[in-house]
Amino acid sequence: MTGHQDTLVIEMDSSLRTPGTGVKGVVRIHPDQASRHELSVVHVELLAVATGVEMKQMENGTHTTPVMREILLDYKEALWDSKAPPMYGHIVQAGFIRCPFAFHFPTHPLPPSYQSIAVSMSAAVRYFVRVTGRLKGWKLSGITHPHIRVVQAFPFVPFDDLPPRAPLEYMPVARHATEIPVRKGIMGGYGNVEAEVFLPAVECFPLFTDIPITVHVKCFSKEMPHFHGSNSSHFTFPLPPSTPNAVELDLIRTCHYDISEHSSNLGSVGGFGKMHPATNGPASHIKTDIGPPTWLQHHGLKHEGRWWQEVTFRSNIVFRCSPTFGIPKLRITYHLELKIPFHGMGNDVHLTIPLDGISSGIYRKAPLEPSTKTLDLHQAYWVLGDIKDIRDAV
């Protein structure tokens, strides 16, 4: 519920919408305030607006330049007129005039809700209801604008264009791997770390769905004399991570705008690493298999060998971010970043795992259950002061 000095108030829910669904609510008009401000007419709009702002740090503060402002959707209807008889459905309740409204989303393609904030740029695709009232006596009442406007945002995602998938745990898997030499100090021999990540081999990963992921790490010590092979206490570096907290797996979103781009870390996923409000499941839900240290005899040198040990983590990811999309001037992509820290300079393991796409996971023939699915959106998505005056026509 939002309001402007109690003159106009929007009552509607902010649940997730999809193409063809309804946007219904009630605008509550305060008759005393309406009379005092000489409120003449009220309109209600269903709007979708794409915006982009470049930001530069100047000596006197941050300078912002709008670089994109496109109205993607604009439905408008008259709601109330002080000179006209009450419209159908209008009622007076508890001293307020209650005016219902209803819109339906079109079925043509629209981008999903989106919001990103970075040092040099911000971009958004917002969906919201805006109620505008024209005031006759705005100058006399001390209001500085001939209109009063209230807005309420809600999230939207398009349907998934791909056919419904088989359970992802039964899909073929794609392997992503890296291998680096590591050394404990600036002198001495090198050990080795191998890291693998396995994900379902799909064209797009759906939202709100358990996505199985496996992280497999193998650590090999430097070459050692063969008599060290009788006691695993000689195996001290590099040791594989023993808990999911020692592995960082982050979701990275990149916003591509014309010739510039910026990336944002959306936090850990799958229960790995530092916990995040959007983290999908605590670490206790991760299955961890730690193999025993094993001596590996060198094939060519009988008097040398090395220790190795492996660990496997099995978990699930659930994405709740904005799906990937592209419109003129703006598109977003995602990838996963795996990081496994090891002691010593330059020894951390890094692996970038591209995600070809993230789709809504909601299909035309499967109705959306109200309030069961929510998007993780930046809090700025819900702050609509910068687009209340996207256009002045009422």
Tens digits of residue pLDDT in 48-71: 999 988 877 777 777 777 778 899
pLDDT of residue 278: 44
pLDDT of residue 314: 96
pLDDT of residue 393: 32
Domain ranges across the chain: 2-159+371-387, 168-359
Phi, psi of 186 (to 5 degrees): -85, -10
Distance CA 149, CA 386 (A): 12
pLDDT of residue 394: 29
pLDDT of residue 85: 65
pLDDT of residue 3: 44
pLDDT of residue 7: 81
> In this structure, which CATH number among 2.60.40.640, 3.40.1110.10, 3.40.50.720, 3.40.50.10860 belongs to the domain 2-159+371-387?
2.60.40.640
Q: What is the DSSP code (8-state) at residue 200? A: E
Q: What's this model's pTM, rounded to 2 decimal places?
A: 0.86
pLDDT of residue 84: 73
Please enumerate in sequence order all residues whose Cβ is within 8 A of that of 218, keeping only pairs 6 or more positions apart, or say none.
193, 194, 195, 240, 308, 309, 310
Instruction: Please check whether the two domains, 2-159+371-387 and 168-359, share a CATH topology.
Output: yes
Distance CA 106, CA 290 (A): 52
> In this structure, which CATH number among 2.60.40.640, 2.60.110.10, 2.60.40.420, 3.40.50.11540 belongs to the domain 168-359?
2.60.40.640
**pLDDT digit of tens for each residue in the chain (394 aa)?**
444 557 889 999 999 999 988 899 999 988 887 777 778 889 999 999 999 888 777 777 777 777 788 999 999 999 988 887 666 567 777 778 899 999 998 888 899 999 998 877 889 999 999 999 887 755 545 555 677 889 999 999 999 988 777 889 889 999 999 999 999 888 888 999 999 999 999 999 999 999 999 999 999 999 999 889 889 999 999 999 999 999 999 999 999 887 678 888 898 999 898 654 444 455 558 999 999 999 998 777 778 899 999 999 999 999 999 999 999 889 999 999 999 999 988 999 999 999 989 999 998 877 666 566 889 999 999 987 655 555 443 2
Distance CA 317, CA 58 (A): 41
pLDDT of residue 370: 53
Q: Using the Cα atoms of residue 153, residue 158, residue 164 and residue 170 in order, give the sign of their dihedral.
A: negative
Tens digits of residue pLDDT in 200-241: 999 999 999 999 999 999 999 999 998 898 899 999 999 999
**Mode of pairing for the β-strands spanning 224-225 and 260-268:** unpaired
pLDDT of residue 162: 81
